[in-house]
């Protein structure tokens, strides 16, 4: 991933496509309204791009037959619409196949936006994901509990598609036969299909944290305009309203954007209403509010900098007694 001026970023994407080794690569573009989304260069070596318990290096990820079948955004939308029609049929009608929608992201990502009908994943880190992996009788909270592995279509989605490639391989080895994933992930879908079947915003792992679907639709319309002339109906739906919940008090939150807890030793990502934000001085709970290493309450949704920038500030700024 990289960020830069649109002209330069697209020039780089075109350069990639001209290289026959990357000619079929899916380049996704999304706006960064407040400057660079990645303000610092980070180079890290990781033996596995996606971290799982036990590692993922042993998985046959390069074997396409072991991964879920990729669906284009339009095919994915058709599947979701078919699923909705199936759910509206009278109880006991088994003429159609069962369809299960599986969100393979983290719970806090679901909190600000997801496909309609997807259950909230009760995990805060991908390595904790364990859908369908129990060797014993599956927990009833597992969305794959009791699923007919041969006669259920499992639709898996994540932000960019990488997690699904990894996790579908695991499920394939567990005997799940009908696995489908959204090609390019949610970001590609929102660019192509807009808000159809989607509610809320999309969580992103950079300084923006949250992007409304309209931002992706703008990029899609730019691409359409470059290929077509005249006013053509793109079929994109208007956004569905989604209200998140304050992590502290549970009240509705319309501003779908997380913040980090002001306690550096907690640093939890959480949604917060304005009242709780002021009451707890940017912390996620009373315990954190009395923690020894507190950062100042930031206005709006600014991101915290490194701790050393706050460490030498006055104690009255960093510590709020309860």
> Mapped to the 3 state alphabet, what secondary structure does 89-122 carry?
CCCCCCCCCEEEEEECCCHHHHHHEEECCCCCCC
Q: What is the mean pLDDT of the chain?
A: 79
Helices (H), the chain: 6-18, 73-88, 107-112, 162-173, 185-193, 213-227, 274-279, 286-289, 308-311, 315-318
pLDDT tens string 257-306? 899 999 999 999 999 999 999 999 999 999 999 999 999 998 777 788 88
Q: Name the residues annotated as catalytic.
A: 158
pLDDT at 193: 92
Residue 121 has pLDDT above 80, yes or no: yes
- Considering the chain, tell me which residue range(s) the CATH 3.40.250.10 domain(s) occupy: 50-134+143-217
Q: How many CB atoms lie within 10 A of CB 14?
A: 10
pLDDT tens string 158-194? 998 888 888 888 888 888 889 999 999 999 999 999 8
pLDDT at 276: 95
Q: Which CATH superfamily is domain 50-134+143-217 in?
A: Rhodanese-like domain (3.40.250.10)
235, 192 contact by CB (below 8 A): no
pLDDT at 47: 65
pLDDT at 267: 93
Q: What angle do CA 284, 287, 291 make, to 5 degrees?
A: 95
pLDDT tens string 71-89? 999 999 999 999 888 887 7
pLDDT at 312: 73
- C-alpha to C-alpha distance for 71 and 55, rounded to whole angstroms: 27
Q: How many CB atoms lie within 10 A of CB 43?
A: 4
pLDDT, greater one: 322 or 264? 264
């Amino acid at each position: 991933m990289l960020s830069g001026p649109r002209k330069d970023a697209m020039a780089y994407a075109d350069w990639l496509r001209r290289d026959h080794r990357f000619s079929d690569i899916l380049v996704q573009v999304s706006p960064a309204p407040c400057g660079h989304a990645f303000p610092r260069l980070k180079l890290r070596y990781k033996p596995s791009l996606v971290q799982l318990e036990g590692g993922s290096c042993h998985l046959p990820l390069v074997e396409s037959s072991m991964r879920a079948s990729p669906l284009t955004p339009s095919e994915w939308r058709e599947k979701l619409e078919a699923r909705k029609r199936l759910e509206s049929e009278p109880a006991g009608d088994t003429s159609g196949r069962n369809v299960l929608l599986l969100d393979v992201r983290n719970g806090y990502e679901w909190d600000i936006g997801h496909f309609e009908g997807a259950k909230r994943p009760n995990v805060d880190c991908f390595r904790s994901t364990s859908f369908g992996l129990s060797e014993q009788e599956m927990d009833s909270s597992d969305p794959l509990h009791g699923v007919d592995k041969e006669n259920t279509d499992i639709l898996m989605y994540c932000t960019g598609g990488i997690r699904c490639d990894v996790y579908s391989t695991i499920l394939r080895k567990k005997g799940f036969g009908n696995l489908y994933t959204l090609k390019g992930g949610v970001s590609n879908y929102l660019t192509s299909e807009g808000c159809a079947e989607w509610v809320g915003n999309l969580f992103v792992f950079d300084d923006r944290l949250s992007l409304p679907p309209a931002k992706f639709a703008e990029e899609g319309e730019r691409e359409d305009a470059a290929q077509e002339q005249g006013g053509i109906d793109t079929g994109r739906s208007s956004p569905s309203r989604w209200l998140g919940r304050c992590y502290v008090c549970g009240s509705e939150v319309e501003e779908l954007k997380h913040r980090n807890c002001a306690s550096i030793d907690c640093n939890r990502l959480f949604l917060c209403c304005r009242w709780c934000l002021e009451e707890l001085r940017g912390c996620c709970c009373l315990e954190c509010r009395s923690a020894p290493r507190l950062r100042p309450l930031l206005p709006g949704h600014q991101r915290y900098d490194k701790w050393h920038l706050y460490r030498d500030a006055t104690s009255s700024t960093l510590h709020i007694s309860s």
